[in-house]
Amino acid sequence: MLSKSMKLIAKISVVLLAGGALVSCTANSYREGADQETYEAIADKTNLVPGMTQRIGINEEKDADLSSLPTNEDSFEFLDNEADSEIGANILSLNVALDLAFQHSQEYQTQKEALYLEALALTFDRYRYTPIFSAVGGADYQWDAEDQFVTDMQALTGMSVLSTSERVDASTSLGARYLLKGGGAIALNLTNNFTRFLTGDISEFGAGALIGSFTQPLLRDFGSDIETETLMQAERDLLYRLRDFTRFRKTFAVRVASSYYSVLLNRETARNNYAGLLANNLSLERERAFQAEGLRTLLQVGRLEQSSLQQDLRWTSSITRYKRSLDDFKILLGLKAQENISLDDNEMILISETGMDSPDLSLEQAMDLAVQTRLDLYNGLDRVQDRARKIEVAANALKPGLDLSLVARVPDANDGDLGELDFENALYSAGLDFELPLDTKLDRNSYRRALIDYEVATRNYLLDMDNIKLDVVDLWRRMNQARKNYDINLTSVQINERRVEEAELRAELGLGDIQDTVDSQNDLTAAQTDLISSIVDHNISKLEFWRDLGLLYVDDSGQWEEGVNESR
What does 35-60 look like in DSSP terms, one character per residue? HHHHHHHHHHHHTTSTT--S----SP
Backbone angles phi, psi at 561, to 5 degrees: -125, 135
Helices 27-46 and 106-127, interaxial angle, to 10°?
Answer: 90
Distance CA 484, CA 224 (A): 60
Distance CA 212, CA 411 (A): 12
The per-residue pLDDT for 55 is 73
**370 in Cβ contact with 472 (< 8 Å):** yes
Evaluate the CA torsion angle 526, 95, 55, 120 in order and state its sign: negative
pLDDT (tens digit, 9 = 90+) per residue, 170-221? 788 889 999 999 899 999 998 877 666 666 555 566 677 889 999 999 999 9
Task: Write b or e for each residue in 164-182: b if 16 or more Cβ atoms lie within 10 A of its Cβ, otherwise e.
Answer: eeebeebbbebeeebbeee
pLDDT (tens digit, 9 = 90+) per residue, 361-370? 899 999 999 9
Q: Which residues in 386-489 belong to E strands, given as ranges?
A: 401-411, 427-435
For residue 550, pLDDT over 50 is answered with yes
**Of the candidates 208, 228, 227, the residue with the CA atom closest to the CA atom of residue 219:** 227
Among 22-36, 399-413, 440-454, which is the least confidently predicted range?
22-36
CB-hemisphere CA count at 13 Å for 458?
8
Distance CA 437, CA 513 (A): 95
Question: How large a percentage of the chain has pLDDT more than 70?
Answer: 86
**Of the candidates 111, 133, 127, 132, the residue with the CA atom closest to the CA atom of residue 234:** 127
pLDDT grade for 411, boundaries at 50, 70 and 90? confident
The per-residue pLDDT for 342 is 95
The per-residue pLDDT for 487 is 92
pLDDT grade for 2, boundaries at 50, 70 and 90? very low
The SS3 of residue 528 is helix
For residue 266, pLDDT over 90 is answered with yes
